[in-house]
């Protein structure tokens, strides 16, 4: 691992100020950043340790929602009584990701900012526009089976790997941040994550030094909360595709994982669902949500797989509503 | 604040003081901030029970208990844990006084080469505690009613890879300890 200077921050504002300089990164759980530093993919010259900041609480908001501190661990968030009862899709998505050991350390902020799992992003001998802007994308004509089918560009077809973020998208969560000058921002996930276009190395709209302080969940949405993840082995693997859904009769909210550079949700597709005949609802939703998809030969299976996965989720929701 | 964008050379890097309590004993160390908790245990404290498998979070061989919770020691820096307490396999039991899980692993033939075993043991201690605290897993049907089962164990221990495939015997060992109620 390359040498870096290490500092600890006492307050969120001090952390943001300390991280403004080029080459500086925050470290929270470390479960993604240290892996990438060992591989020389991330090369920070300074780490600002935010793991001891007082951002570890889950609190009720005045409107009946929840505020989740950026340093709440994945385990603690999944196990929070209000998350389990009112936002079960979030618990289900978190426990579908990584392993118990990793979830005990991984944080809410770090999970949102984990980087791509494209095989070429991890192979420093091969071109990758995300790792090394302007070098090209080895995945376009390479192993693309796990990569994205929509929202991509000619410069990058990597998918966002987080499970938690897919549930946060279906819940309309917002990301709260603090800039070094003290201003705070609130961003929807679509505002927070950038699509790759011709700058795939820029994954979010965060500015230098900007710290995630937490995530806010709006008041709960009733209905059956489900997360279904399809992967190459039963556990401890990233999603090929995943579906986060909240189903309440004819109304449904659905976000998809493993298929786009950010959690993929198309509100129009949910309207198409409500208008379609009962037996064609899943098809109407998928057709609309994946209009304009550009899969590769290797990952074209993801669209029919999503269609079947969504049908399975809807069937499960029907059974749970009856039970 | 102005800071040099250049990485400091290794020689100018200040070593940092860290106090760790490991298996009940306090250690005051001065270390390079790059050193992971795993390398601190093995190279600085000569506690080689904790194993380095992949060094990238994929195998679970480096699992230890940090303030009582199971974590991967290869994916965290020692300097981040000043004042915290770590339990390694050496702290679970001794050859004369095995931890109930160690004893059950021996009797159930829960290992072959033994490389993954320290991680499996620490992970099992953490897992039994997580089940007792009601932390749900991917296979938990009712999120408010976490119950012990072999299915729960298999899912929760899936982050610990065993190349010798001792899995069925590990499950038998941990199940027995849970039934006896002395896994903590
Ligand atoms: C083997 C393995 C399997 C995995 N499987 C899955 C899986 O199936 N599903 C899944 O979703 N995830 C999976 N993960 C990824 C894991 O969830 C992430 O590594 C973890 O969530 C990152 O959180 P962290 O706190 O450790 O982040 P860090 O590693 O500490 O940080 C990650 C990034 O976020 C930045 N950062 C951290 N906190 C903040 C903040 N508050 N504000 C601004 N920037 C910040 C850091 O600078 C860094 O760039 C897996 C990881 C491993 C190693
Ligand atoms: S898909 Fe993106 S991450 Fe993968 S090689 Fe191409 S540019 Fe790099
Ligand atoms: S050595 Fe840490 S998970 Fe493999
Ligand atoms: S006993 Fe050999 S790797 Fe598990």
Give the H or E element holding residue A316: helix A302-322
Distance, CA A149 to ligand 2 centroid (Å)?
13
Q: Residue B166: inside a domain, yes or no?
A: yes
Coil, helix or strand at residue B20: strand
Terminal C-alpha separation, chain B: 48
Query: To the nearest whole number, what is the mean pLDDT of chain A?
Result: 97
Confidence of residue B181 (pLDDT cuts 50, 70, 90): confident
> Total domain count for chain B?
2
Confidence of residue B4 (pLDDT cuts 50, 70, 90): very low
Q: Please tell me the number of Cα atoms within 13 Å of B171 on its side-chain side.
A: 14
Q: Tell me, yes or no, whether B58 and B87 share the same domain.
A: yes
Q: Is B77 on the interface with A (CB under 8 A)?
A: yes
* Closest of B147, B70, B150, B139 to residue A92, by C-alpha: B139
- Give the pLDDT score at B8: 54
- The tens digit of pLDDT for each residue in A168-212 reads 999 999 999 999 999 999 999 999 999 999 999 999 999 999 999
**Boundaries of domain holding B169:** 100-180
- What is the distance between the alpha carbons of residues B32 and B15, in angstroms, rounded to a whole number? 5
pLDDT of A29 higher than 60? yes
Q: Residue B1: inside a domain, yes or no?
A: no
pLDDT of B162 higher than 80? yes
Q: Tell me, yes or no, whether B122 and B83 share the same domain.
A: no
Q: What is the pTM of this model?
A: 0.97
- Give the pLDDT score at B143: 97
Last residue of a domain, one of B35, B66, B91: B91
Question: Ligand 1: residues whose CB is within 6 Å?
Answer: A 25-33, 35, 50, 70, 97-98, 102, 105-107, 109-111, 113-114, 161-164, 211-212, 238; B 57-58
- Window B:134-173, CB contacts with A under 8 Å: 134-138, 140, 143-144, 154-156, 158-160
- Give the pLDDT score at B110: 98
ipTM of the modeled complex = 0.97
Q: Tell me, yes or no, whether B104 and B169 share the same domain.
A: yes
Supply the CATH number for residue B85's domain: 3.10.20.30
Lowest pLDDT segment from A60-64, A144-148, A168-172, A246-250: A246-250
B9 vs A146, more confident:
A146
- The tens digit of pLDDT for each residue in B41-66 reads 999 999 999 999 999 999 999 999 99
Q: Tell me, yes or no, whether B71 and B115 share the same domain.
A: no
Q: Tell me, yes or no, whether B108 and B163 share the same domain.
A: yes
Q: Tell me, yes or no, whether B48 and B107 share the same domain.
A: no
pLDDT of B5 higher than 70? no
Q: Tell me, yes or no, whether B121 and B75 share the same domain.
A: no
Q: Are the C-beta atoms of A200 and A155 separated by less than 8 Å? A: yes
- Give the pLDDT score at B10: 55
- The tens digit of pLDDT for each residue in B98-153 reads 999 999 999 999 999 999 999 999 999 999 999 999 999 999 999 999 999 999 99
Q: Tell me, yes or no, whether B38 and B80 share the same domain.
A: yes
Q: What is the largest CA-CA distance in chain B?
A: 61
Mapping DSSP onto H, E and C, the string for B5-53 reads CCCCCHHHCCCEEEEEEECCEEEEEEECCCCEHHHHHHHHCCCCCCCCC
Q: Tell me, yes or no, whether B20 and B63 share the same domain.
A: yes
Q: If you average pLDDT over residues A242-265, what whole number do you get? A: 97
- Return the axis-axis angle of helices B117-132 and B167-180, rounded to nearest 10°: 40
Q: Residue B10: inside a domain, yes or no?
A: no
- The tens digit of pLDDT for each residue in A100-147 reads 999 999 999 999 999 999 999 999 999 999 999 999 999 999 999 999
- Provide the CATH number for the domain formed by A224-317 in this structure: 3.30.390.50
Q: Residue B9: inside a domain, yes or no?
A: no
Give the H or E element holding residue A257: strand A251-257
Domain boundaries, chain A: 224-317
| A5, β-bridge pairs | A46
């Amino acid at each position: 691992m390359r040498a870096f200077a290490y500092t600890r921050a006492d307050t969120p504002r001090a952390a943001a100020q300390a991280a403004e300089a080029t080459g500086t990164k925050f470290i929270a759980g470390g479960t993604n950043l240290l892996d990438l530093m060992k591989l020389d993919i991330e090369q920070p010259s300074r780490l600002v340790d935010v793991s001891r900041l007082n951002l570890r609480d889950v609190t009720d908001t005045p409107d009946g929602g929840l505020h989740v501190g950026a340093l709440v661990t994945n385990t603690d968030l999944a196990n929070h009584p209000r998350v389990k009862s009112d936002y079960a899709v979030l618990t289900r998505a978190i426990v579908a990701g990584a392993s118990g050991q990793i979830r005990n350390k991984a944080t809410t902020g770090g999970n949102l900012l984990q980087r791509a799992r494209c095989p070429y992003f991890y192979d420093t001998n091969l071109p990758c526009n995300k790792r090394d802007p302007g070098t090209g994308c080895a995945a376009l004509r390479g192993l693309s089976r796990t990569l994205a089918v929509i929202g991509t560009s000619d410069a990058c077809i990597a998918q966002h790997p987080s499970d938690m973020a897919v549930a946060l998208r279906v819940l309309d969560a917002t990301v709260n941040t603090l800039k070094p000058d003290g201003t705070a921002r609130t961003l929807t996930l679509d505002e927070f994550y950038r699509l790759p276009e011709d700058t795939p190395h820029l994954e979010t709209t965060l500015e230098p030094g900007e710290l995630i302080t937490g995530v806010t969940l709006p008041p709960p949405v009733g209905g059956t909360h489900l997360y279904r993840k399809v992967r190459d082995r039963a556990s401890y693997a990233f999603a090929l595709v995943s579906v986060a859904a909240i189903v309440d009769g004819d109304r449904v909210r659905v976000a998809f994982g493993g298929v786009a550079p950010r959690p993929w949700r198309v509100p129009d597709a949910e309207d198409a669902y409500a208008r379609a005949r009962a037996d064609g609802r899943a098809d109407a939703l998928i057709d609309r949500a994946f209009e304009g998809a550009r899969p590769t030969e290797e990952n074209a299976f993801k669209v029919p797989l999503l269609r079947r996965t969504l049908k399975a989720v809807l069937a499960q929701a029907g059974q749970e509503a009856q039970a | 604040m102005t800071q040099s964008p250049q990485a400091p050379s290794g020689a100018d890097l200040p070593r940092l003081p860290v106090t760790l309590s490991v298996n009940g004993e306090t250690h005051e160390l001065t270390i390079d901030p790059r050193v992971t908790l795993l390398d601190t245990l093995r190279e600085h404290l000569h506690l080689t029970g904790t194993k380095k498998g992949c060094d990238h979070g994929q195998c679970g061989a480096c699992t230890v208990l940090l303030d009582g919770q199971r974590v991967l020691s290869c994916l965290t820096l020692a300097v981040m844990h000043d004042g915290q307490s770590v339990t390694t396999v050496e702290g679970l039991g001794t050859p004369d006084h095995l931890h109930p899980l160690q004893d059950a692993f021996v009797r159930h033939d829960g290992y072959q080469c033994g490389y993954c075993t320290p991680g499996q043991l620490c992970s099992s201690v953490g897992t039994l505690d997580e089940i007792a605290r009601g932390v749900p897993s991917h296979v938990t049907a009712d999120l408010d009613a976490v119950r012990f089962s072999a299915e729960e164990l298999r899912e929760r221990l899936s982050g610990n890879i065993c190349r010798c495939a001792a899995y069925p015997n590990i499950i038998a060992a941990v199940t027995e300890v849970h039934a006896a109620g002395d896994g903590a």
